């Protein structure tokens, strides 16, 4: 049960939008995950496309105000290169760990983006990977990885030494179906976006099933292919309800509190673009950016494709120390920032 006060206290409000679409350099191109360093620097992992040139795959470094610190990484299969980059996490020294769900490996970079090393190879035996997607670092400094196509979570040391694994393919308690986002709370409990099962699952630090939240659907508290999850200090659960193109906030017990559908405005970088592209800016100014018409189906994906301010492909969630929520949207190539009341 969620009280009215709790609902008000935990409600989130839109603050600003960060980033914009660019194939190279300053900007994002199909961002799939975001992490923040201890100094507030934001690392945005850009997956790009298979068929375009290598330098469109990259990590963009910036801060919330839009100050740009450069990029690192590129497409390919060599050191410091990616095919299908998917998840990013920073350790206590701000070293950067990135999963690649095609190359089945983890690449490690310094805080400034210098390549340090890589490990991982394909397979379904313990310690091997098939489609590593979400990644987080637990309280002991070990890596928890959604070994997605093996339908399990694996724990490794930062050097890639296998520690443990849990989960098998299925839809029962503790079973997983193509898990994606992963996070831990202050009690070292593990939350997994159980993507194919339309739910969030909670596990103990050693992988024992504790609880599950949500079911398939578009109602409050239901999910369609949740991709990302994060948990606040007080235990509130934030879910990137990817297939519903929204964010949902749940109480520590898993009860629905609020849903967000997106309120993006023009970012600093977007304004820079529009200032020098006057014809486009003026036409944009005159356009009805929230047109009303009949969609041929009830999939919010369709609505989001037409109405730019709405979340489209909300994939990853980041809570900073001030409990501000950074929502990365793959299809809109930006981050929307929300804060609590």
Partner 1 sequence: MPENQIDLIAHLMRRGGFGATQQELEDYTRIGYEASVEKLLDTATPTVMSEYLIRRYHPDESSLLGGLSGADAWLYRMVTTDTPLLEKMALFWHGIFATGYPKVLNAKPLADQIRMFKRYAMGDLNTILVQMAKDPAMIIWLDNQQNHKDSINENFGRELLELFSMGVGNYTEDDVKECARAFTGWTIGNCEYMEVRSARDSDWPYGRISWHYEFDQSDHDNGEKEFLGRKGNFNGEDIVDIICQEEATARFIARHIYHFFVADEPPVPQWPYQPPRDPEAIDQLVKVYFDSKYDIREVMRFLFNSDFFKSEDCWYEKVKSPAELVTGVMRLTGAVDMPRYDTFSKQLRMQYMGQTLSNPPSVEGWDGGTAWIDTGALVERMNFAAEELGNLTTPGSQQLFDKFVAENSEQISPDRVIDICLEHIGSLTIHRDTRVKLVEYANENGGVRVDGNQLDELGKDTISGTVKLIASTPEFQKA
What residue ranges bind partner 1 (CB under 8 A)?
A: 20-22, 30, 32, 47, 49-52, 83-84, 101-102, 149, 178, 180, 195, 224-225, 227, 243, 264, 266-267, 269-270, 273-274, 277, 279-280, 283-284, 286-289, 291, 293, 296, 301-302, 305-306, 308, 312-313, 330-334
Nearest CB to partner 1, comparing residues 50 and 219: 50
In the DSSP assignment, the letter for residue 223 is B
Nearest CB to partner 1, comparing residues 84 and 191: 84
Of the chain, the end-to-end C-alpha distance in Å amounts to: 20
Least spacing, CB of residue 174 vs partner 1, in Å: 22
Burial bucket for residue 8 (CB in 10 Å: 0-12, 13-18, 19+): exposed
User: Length of the chain in residues, anyone?
Assistant: 341
Closest-CA residue to 207 (of 134, 144, 141, 162): 144
Nearest CB to partner 1, comparing residues 1 and 296: 296
Within the chain, residue ranges assigned H as helices are 4-10, 268-276, 278-286, 300-306
Q: How far apart are CA 40 and CA 320, in angstroms?
A: 8
Least spacing, CB of residue 338 vs partner 1, in Å: 17
Least spacing, CB of residue 225 vs partner 1, in Å: 5
Q: Which residues contact 208 (CB under 8 A, 6 or more apart)?
A: 166, 174
Nearest CB to partner 1, comparing residues 4 and 286: 286
Nearest CB to partner 1, comparing residues 1 and 278: 278
Least spacing, CB of residue 102 vs partner 1, in Å: 5
Least spacing, CB of residue 329 vs partner 1, in Å: 8
How far, in whole angstroms, is CA 281 from its chain's centroid? Answer: 30
Q: Are strands 334-340 and 74-75 parallel, antiparallel or unpaired?
A: unpaired
Burial bucket for residue 256 (CB in 10 Å: 0-12, 13-18, 19+): middle
Nearest CB to partner 1, comparing residues 175 and 308: 308
Least spacing, CB of residue 7 vs partner 1, in Å: 30
CB count in 10 Å sphere of residue 332: 25
Nearest CB to partner 1, comparing residues 178 and 200: 178
Least spacing, CB of residue 244 vs partner 1, in Å: 11
Closest-CA residue to 33 (of 227, 323, 186, 308): 227
Least spacing, CB of residue 286 vs partner 1, in Å: 6
Nearest CB to partner 1, comparing residues 29 and 213: 29
Half-sphere exposure at residue 56, Cβ-oriented, CA atoms within 13 angstroms: 14
DSSP annotation string for 94-117: --EEEEETTTTEEEEE-TT--EEE
CB count in 10 Å sphere of residue 222: 17
């Amino acid at each position: 049960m969620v009280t009215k006060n709790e609902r008000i206290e935990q409600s989130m409000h839109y603050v600003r939008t960060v980033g914009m679409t660019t194939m190279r350099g300053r900007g994002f191109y199909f961002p799939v995950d975001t992490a923040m360093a201890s100094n507030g620097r934001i690392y945005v992992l850009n997956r790009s496309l298979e068929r375009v040139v290598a330098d469109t795959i990259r990590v963009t470094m910036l801060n919330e105000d839009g100050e740009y610190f450069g990029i690192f990484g590129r497409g390919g299969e060599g050191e410091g290169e990616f095919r299908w980059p998917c998840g990013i996490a920073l350790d206590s020294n701000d070293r950067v760990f990135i999963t690649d769900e095609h190359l089945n490996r983890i690449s490690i970079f310094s805080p400034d983006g210098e390549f340090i090393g890589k490990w991982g190879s394909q397979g379904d035996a313990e310690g091997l990977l098939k489609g590593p997607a979400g990644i987080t670092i637990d309280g002991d400094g070990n890596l928890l990885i959604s070994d997605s196509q093996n339908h399990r979570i694996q724990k490794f040391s930062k050097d890639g030494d296998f520690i443990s694994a849990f989960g098998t393919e299925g839809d029962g308690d503790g079973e997983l179906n193509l898990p994606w986002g992963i996070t831990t709370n202050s009690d070292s409990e593990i939350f997994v976006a159980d993507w194919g099962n339309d739910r969030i699952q909670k596990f103990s630090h050693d992988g024992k099933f504790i609880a599950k939240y949500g079911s398939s659907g578009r109602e409050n508290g239901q999910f369609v292919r949740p991709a990302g999850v994060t948990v606040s200090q007080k235990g509130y659960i934030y879910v990137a309800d990817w297939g519903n193109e929204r964010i949902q906030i749940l109480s520590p017990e898993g009860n629905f509190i609020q849903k967000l559908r997106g309120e993006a405005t023009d970012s600093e970088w977007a304004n820079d673009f529009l200032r020098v592209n006057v014809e486009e800016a003026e036409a944009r100014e005159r356009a009805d950016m929230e047109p009303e018409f009949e969609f041929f189906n009830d999939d919010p994906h369709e609505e989001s494709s037409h109405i730019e301010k709405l979340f489209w492909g909300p994939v990853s969630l980041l809570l900073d120390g001030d409990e501000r929520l950074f929502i990365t949207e793959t299809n809109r190539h930006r981050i929307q920032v929300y804060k609590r009341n």
